């Protein structure tokens, strides 16, 4: 204890030196009996001071430990035991601070719950009419086909259906981002098969790959697994794969590879598109950022939401997501779930 508090050590050393000096003077001046009396008197005078200093140091150490506990999230800490002078005043102020922190945390939790409820209501209010609109578009297109309508009219309705699907995806992604920001996304933590996560991410996109004329390849190391949330990981990975699909021309390829070592389970997604411009690399995960992929005209379907959502979902699970380019061309994304034993 003395080694951790220099002031207390100096005070004890000074008391010991004063006691030794007083004893030596009495011993030399008046003999052994006087020296013994002087030693007893000095000890009687200094020991209470040392004891008080030790008690004060212990009280300060205890207070410091409790402040540290408050800073690390504990709310059941009390400073009522601090009764001495300035320490009592300091303890009172710290207790007020703890109470304010606890009240603020409760208010934030209530606000987060209200926001989550509001977002759920907004999602329902938007999805219901969009679903009805999609069904109406399909029915109108089928009726036009039965009536032998012009090919141009049928294709126009088909394009409307694609646009409606795009709007639904955009609205859903924006709501997920809002929930993530509000802390309203519930993330579980379980041992997840990497093969199952890749399957869930890629299965909804298989038709889109066929229509685009782009090959989808999977290469998952046998037994690869990680600790995380299966559904939200599939969502993040799916957004990355979707982004690669949108920037890969017909005849190209998107590849999803998974490897695992002692450090991490690593998902590597690459494509044979034009890659990511160097000036765009620092910004690809920014919301609503649309970079230049080398096309003559920007892709009107890209709004810069999918990668931002993927990044947020990865970080929420303690994973990392980075973007780059393959040595022989094409974009590359690395999603890493680090081992909990590292």
Question: Judging by DSSP bridges, how do beta strands 225-228 and 253-260 pair with one another?
Answer: unpaired
Query: Are 319 and 205 within one domain?
Result: yes
Retrieve residue 53's tokens: 């200093």
Question: Judging by DSSP bridges, how do beta strands 253-260 and 215-220 pair with one another?
Answer: parallel
At residue 70, the pLDDT reads 62
Query: Are 267 and 158 within one domain?
Result: no
At residue 223, the pLDDT reads 94
Query: Are 238 and 287 within one domain?
Result: yes
206 lies in a domain?
A: yes
CATH number, domain of 235, equals 3.30.565.10
DSSP 3: G
DSSP 72: T
Query: Are 200 and 245 within one domain?
Result: yes
96 lies in a domain?
A: no
Angle of CA points 299, 267, 184, to nearest 5° = 75
Helix (H, G, I), strand (E, B) or coil at 288: coil
306 lies in a domain?
A: yes
At residue 102, the pLDDT reads 75
At residue 35, the pLDDT reads 46
The last residue of one of the domains, among 31, 47, 77, is 77
d(CA 130, CA 78): 54
At residue 314, the pLDDT reads 94
Instruction: Note down pLDDT in tens along the chain; length 342 residues.
Output: 444 455 545 555 555 555 555 555 444 555 465 545 544 555 455 556 556 666 666 666 666 676 666 666 665 555 555 555 555 666 666 677 777 777 777 777 777 666 666 666 666 566 666 667 667 777 776 777 777 777 677 677 666 766 666 677 677 767 777 777 767 677 889 999 999 999 999 998 998 899 899 999 999 999 999 999 999 999 999 999 999 999 999 999 999 999 999 999 999 999 999 999 999 999 999 887 776 654 444 444 455 788 988 999 999 999 999 999 999 889 999 999 998 754
At residue 10, the pLDDT reads 53
108 lies in a domain?
A: no
Query: Are 6 and 48 within one domain?
Result: yes
Ramachandran category for residue 223: left, alpha or beta (phi over 0 → left; psi -120 to 50 → alpha): left
110 lies in a domain?
A: no
Beta bridge partners of 255: 217, 270
62 lies in a domain?
A: yes
Length of the chain: 342
DSSP string covering 74-120, please? ------TT--SHHHHHHHHHHHHHHHHHHHHHHHHHHHHHHHHHHHH
In this structure, are residues 94 and 63 in contact, taking their beta carbons and an 8 Å threshold?
yes
Query: Are 164 and 48 within one domain?
Result: no
The last residue of one of the domains, among 161, 181, 201, is 181
At residue 152, the pLDDT reads 74
At residue 73, the pLDDT reads 62
Query: Are 18 and 122 within one domain?
Result: no
At residue 66, the pLDDT reads 67
Query: Are 202 and 313 within one domain?
Result: yes
Query: Are 165 and 292 within one domain?
Result: no
263 lies in a domain?
A: yes
Number of domains in the chain: 3
Taking CA atoms, 331 is separated from 109, 295, 324, in Å, by 40, 15, 6
For helices 151-181 and 306-316, give the axis angle rounded to 10 degrees: 30
At residue 199, the pLDDT reads 95
Query: Are 167 and 29 within one domain?
Result: no
d(CA 286, CA 296): 23
Query: Are 307 and 264 within one domain?
Result: yes
At residue 180, the pLDDT reads 74
Q: What global pTM score does this model have?
A: 0.59
| Structural domain range at position 61 | 2-77
Query: Are 163 and 246 within one domain?
Result: no
């Amino acid at each position: 204890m003395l080694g951790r508090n220099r002031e207390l050590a100096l005070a004890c050393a000074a008391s010991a030196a004063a006691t030794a000096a007083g004893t030596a003077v009495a011993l030399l001046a008046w003999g052994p009996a006087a020296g013994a009396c002087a030693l007893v008197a000095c000890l009687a005078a200094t020991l209470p001071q040392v004891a008080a200093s030790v008690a004060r140091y212990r009280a300060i150490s205890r207070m410091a430990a409790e402040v540290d506990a408050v800073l690390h999230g504990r709310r059941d800490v009390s400073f009522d035991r601090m009764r001495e002078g300035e320490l009592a005043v300091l303890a009172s102020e710290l207790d007020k601070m703890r109470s304010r922190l606890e009240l603020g945390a409760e208010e934030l939790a209530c606000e987060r719950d209200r926001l989550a409820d509001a977002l759920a209501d907004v999602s329902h209010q938007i999805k219901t009419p969009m679903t009805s609109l999609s069904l109406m578009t399909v029915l109108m297109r089928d009726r036009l086909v039965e009536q032998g309508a012009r090919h141009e009219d049928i294709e126009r309705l088909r394009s409307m259906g694609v646009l409606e699907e795009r709007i639904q995806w955009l609205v859903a992604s924006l709501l997920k981002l809002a929930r993530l920001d509000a802390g309203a996304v519930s993330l579980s933590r379980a041992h997840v098969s990497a093969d199952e996560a890749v399957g869930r991410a890629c299965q909804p996109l298989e038709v889109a790959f066929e229509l685009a004329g782009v090959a989808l390849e999977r290469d998952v190391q046998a037994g690869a697994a990680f600790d995380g949330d299966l559904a939200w990981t599939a969502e993040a990975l799916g957004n990355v794969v979707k982004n690669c699909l949108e920037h890969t021309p017909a005849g190209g390829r998107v590849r999803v590879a998974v490897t695992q070592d002692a450090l991490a389970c690593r998902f590597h997604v690459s494509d044979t598109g034009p890659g990511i411009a160097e000036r765009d690399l620092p910004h690809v995960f920014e919301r609503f950022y649309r970079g230049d992929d080398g096309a003559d005209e920007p892709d009107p379907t890209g709004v810069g939401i999918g990668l931002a959502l993927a990044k947020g979902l990865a970080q929420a699970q303690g994973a990392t997501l980075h973007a780059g380019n393959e040595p022989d061309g094409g974009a590359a994304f690395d999603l890493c779930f680090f081992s909990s034993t590292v």
